[in-house]
Structure 1
Amino acid sequence: MDELDTPVLDDHLHLDPVNGRNTEAVEEFADHGGTHLLVLNKPSWSLGVDVDAPEDFREVFDLTVEAAADATDVLDGRAWPVLGVHPALISQLEDRGYDPAEARDLMQAGLDVAAEYVADGPALALKSGRPHYEVSDESWDASNDVMKHAFELGAEAGCAVQLHTEGGEDFRQVAEWAEDRGLPRERVVKHYSGGHVEGPTPSVLSNKDELEVAAQAGEPFLMETDFIDDPDRPGAVLGPKTVPRRVRWLLQEGYDDAVRNAHVETPSRVYDIDTEATLDS
């Protein structure tokens, strides 16, 4: 396979060193031209961890840091962990008897722990958000409070915050909440995004139609697969080879500037990472 003359970053991918393919998936990504990964921790319960105290999150975070380090050994570039609390945890906790306020407090405390990993070095950014499905008003308000806390922590740490939220294009209010807490809106990343989003930086799920929208707009954007690394759902959401394949397609279609935008310029702007300097010479 022809080498790509560009860094290739998947902005949102999961690795599971307990149940999944883990570095085998990274090798597939690298074999197709992928160079850099942002590795998001899987939801705590999917790794068999029932959290009842902030320290319980460390097992999930440590597994993710380890997976990212192993991925770096495979890549021509490197991988960075992005750590946080999946917004659907509020429903998991409520099912276990927590009220929304108690769930909010535990999730915020989990984000405090994740922020330690950013401050101490192994993690690049934080992950938060709010449910993408119907919940009670109390749970919705509590979830927004969790997300706002993530913005405060991101501002303190000087790092980006990736968001898992409902679908849509208008997230200007969310971006304003971030800015009110000192986090620039370009450092808020809307994971699982379409090609157009107002407010945060879109991390576009790498389907051709949506990538073409983002490429033609000329605004900052990132590319992702949201690969889940679940043996019961192979290839979900998109497989690890998808981003490098889509980069090839974008180049064939003449979108060279968009490729540089998504894999060099926007990663620098959002995460303060240099995907060119971190490539093996």
Structure 2
Amino acid sequence: MSEDLGTPVLDNHLHLDPDHGRGIEAVKDFARSGGTHLLVVNKPSWLLGVEPETGEEFRPVFETTLDVVSRANEVLDGRAWPVLGVHPGLISKLVDDRGYAPEEARDLMRAGLDLAAEYVADGERVEPGEALALKTGRPHYDTTDAVREASNEVLRHGLGLGADNDCAVQLHTEASDDLTDIARWAEDAGLDPERVVKHYAGGELAGPTPSVMSEKDRLEVAVERGDPFLMETDFVDDPDRPGTVMGPRTVPRRVRWMQEEGYDDAVRNVHVETPKRVYGVNTQETFDS
């Protein structure tokens, strides 16, 4: 029997691997704990056994995610949406392991993002086989100047695609509480920085909207600030990496804790108001239906 928390409960960033991980079983755990909505981000291409040489060859990565999202929608009281893109760590795989020049890696990754953008829904209603948002970023670890520059060019291309397709863009970047440089790039591209989401964020962030890792100390900081924010687990769904990040039950459990602490306004901020502002989705409507 599922726990009813009386509110939509959205995990803004997790992965599902129906072939190598727990897949729909993880969704069932989320739902039984009171979770209602998911943003499912495709796993890095190499973790799905895909070694693309062209943009088109990213398609199996995206199709895998679309398929598992469709199955998740049969389980959830709310719904799931896909987020598609190219993991920024791919540039190191290409340069260090496959001998690509940074510029060649940049071009391949931009082509992968172009393909991801073809899946983005045209308008607010996301139909099966469509994506809600894009994902891009830059490595969170030290790299050469050439790789860093190429990665920033990929990131800026992703922001431009977000503007062109009127969709949000999730970011995988270095840990930081100040990403105003990326917010400026978004503005330059014609994308509202509020629609740029920093995945794996702390409770305080200048620039994009933070998607806060669901640890109590980070959440308390975000609640006290009172700004728009989201919550996530970054569940990786990899049996070879148990406990790497947070399990699928975490967000609903943290919502219960927030309710017990009297943070009801923050719960609505995270799970109703901010998803509407950032992604244009009405979690309350899909929850009630």
Normalising to structure 1: TM-score of the pair?
0.98
**Partner residue, 1:274:** 282
Counterpart secondary structure, 2:39 = strand
* Equivalent-residue separation in structure 2 for 1:224 and 1:103 (angstroms): 29
Please tell me the residue identity of whatever aligns with 1:26: V
Taking the TM superposition and a 5 Å limit, the aligned residue runs for 1:88-99 are 88-94=89-95, 95-99=97-101
Cα deviation digits, residues 75-133 of structure 1 (max 9, x gap):
00000000000000000011201000000000000000000000465100000000000
Give the whole-Å Cα distance in 2 for the aligned partners of 1:236 and 1:27. 20
> How far apart, in 1, do the equivalents of 2:3 and 2:190 lie?
44
After TM superposition, the runs of 4+ consecutive aligned structure 1 residues lying more than 2 A away are: none
How far apart, in 2, do the equivalents of 1:125 and 1:158 lie? 9
CA distance in 1, matches of 2:164, 2:23: 32
Secondary structure class of the residue paired with 1:42: coil
Equivalent of residue 226 in structure 1, options 227, 234, 238: 234
Q: Tell me the matched-pair count.
A: 281
Q: What pairs up with 1:166-185 in 2 under 5 angstroms?
A: 166-185=174-193
Partner-residue secondary structure (3-state), 1:212: helix
Q: Give the superposition deviation at 1:27.
A: 0.1
Mapping for residues 191-210 of structure 1, pairs under 5 Å: 191-210=199-218
Match of 2:210, SS state, is strand
Partner amino acid for 2:75? V
1:24 alignment partner in structure 2: 25
The CA RMSD over aligned residues, in Å, is 1.0
Matches of 1:280 and 1:98, distance apart in 2: 50
Distance in 1 of aligned mates of 2:86 and 2:169: 11
Residue in 1 aligned with 2:145?
137
Kindly provide the CA deviation profile for residues 171-206 of structure 1, in whole angstroms up to 9, marking residues without a partner as x. 001100011000000000000000000000000000
What displacement does 1:234 show? Answer: 2.5
Structure 2 partner of 1:52: 53
Gap runs ≥5 in structure 1 = none
Residue 74 of structure 1 aligns with which residue? 75
Is 2:160–2:190's contact at 8 Å kept on the other side of the alignment? yes
2:109 aligned partner: 107
Check conservation: 2:87, 2:135, Cα contact below 8 A: yes
Cα distance, 1:168 vs structure 2: 1.1
Partners in 2 of 1:119 and 1:36 — Cα distance? 18
